[in-house]
Structure 1
């Protein structure tokens, strides 16, 4: 080791470092385990006192501490900084190494983290980790208690180490994303099955409690009428009464059957489409003045149904619980998203109440790949926002194209 640098003193130590990196890469796709092993190897190879491995999160907008040498290994996952902030964030954003011999607290790029005890270390080096297939994946930071002069060889060594492990970290990030997608797909499948079973139970209950009972009663009245036919005038009057009641039950049964079908698929969507269907829905809300602003959009059928049901449930909550005089219903394009928003000026609430149908609305939003956000303040009102990704943001009309059509 040179007196003031990080260079390896002999080929044997260089080979040992390479072997250690290869073994760390081969150990598995877990980012934290890989980062921890690499941090230890770097400290041993460079005669520094501590090493931090910061890795890009899945948003590619911030760095998260993924590995560190003791005693800072317990801080893994607790430190995060956006690209461009802090020395590591600056090195990542500009993809240029940073070397600070002393006085780092006076450097405008420096950001202090109490749990990392920066005051205990004098010199530091921050080097981006990047590879040709994956691009930037993170930053390596090394620190020394004593003042250290960093040389060109030091920079080359740390850059080489970063390049060696960047590909492995890129693959580990891809593996993590894939695992997250698989878990999301499993949850999605479970939610779909649960929603289907709940809908079947609801429909079965509607048929049993409503339509079936009506048909039994209808049959009773028809049987009574048939038995009375052919008798005296009193029997014929009784038969006529039974037929009238049978006719009433037939009308009620037909109405309940239509209601059950309507609950499965709102016919207004077939007749008017989502935008005009929402307008019609808003006009049917009793006792509340609903202002409507919607944009036409060609969405898949299941997405239209989900958004319509969310709006329907939200407006029902306005009527049943909000005590509002005014409400707003909007359907808009937001960059690569479709936003459905229902807001009221009602009484609001301090905490989101699960009994207000929030669970079913959130589930519908998740089932179509979106999310539901609810904001409410007591005495101010409630806002329900369902956001759904849109596949073709380039074709989305601007706010002035209120009734434009886009393929989403």
Structure 2
């Protein structure tokens, strides 16, 4: 393979960076930074919190209690909990800096909590397991909904004294809220409002070209033996490939942009200077069982518990088919805003309309941009005016400050 002069210089800079030198000046300074480096480099006021769940997982969250330069006070603020999507991490809610949903919420007067779900690179500890143990990865989104969300709601109440909070979940984060609402209904009275961004519960009308066939025959025993897990730490190879080929001056940048088309083509909303930041930090780890659980529900066209097999279901659930997450059991007293884009290739408008119709208290919100796709909720250059402003307005409408 022959390299031109520019490519050789790029490779030279990459090799320098890999040995601890600074990034080339033409790359975004946030490239490759882990979460805490990112927060400190931008002087964000933050706290790191850890909660141990009843099943032993150490779940970390970033708290943004106040804006930069804001004088600390004992005045209570309305709380909001943000939960990321599958194999993602908290930083995606912050990458756009002052135009990010995280900083906008802080500036709007919220006490912001961003959870790193179990299996994320920032939540890999356990009371007696390590991430090298196959048993560690024997969880799906069900455990996040059943254990992690209630544990953090209790922790936030204990820290802030605020009985209630608002919820924002992107992709699987929104799906987790809907599962949580059906299996932990006692906590719903402590939710001011929930905002589910592109929760792919049903995908009969999906248009993605990602082929699930290679995973269809993978059964539970593979998971328990640790044969099929999503990488639980940043891939150095992926990072260097992204730095080499996906920076703003790379001749291959358009190829990197094209990789995002599986979410729904919307190239006009991709900030090419920030693309490398996203690609060097995401995905950030989760269990394969979580992916398989979502795939099972999609293929069965029913929002269901994990499907082991005919006989193990009988042992675990007392019935041959896995139970449903009964959406119709959700109390209609909690406002649930389900936002989606018409151009989301992971699910069609018909799928979201079905979900809204089955969920008491839910209202649909179509993002007013015809090409808005699945990752535009965190990637789009214009997300502030297309989504975030309206979301914060609705959050304020329902937000309360109540003593525990």
Relative to the length of structure 2, the TM-score reads: 0.19
Structure having the higher Rg: 1
Q: Greater relative contact order: 1 or 2 (C-alpha under 8 angstroms, separation 6 or more)? A: 2
When the two structures are superposed, what TM-score results if normalisation uses the length of structure 1?
0.19
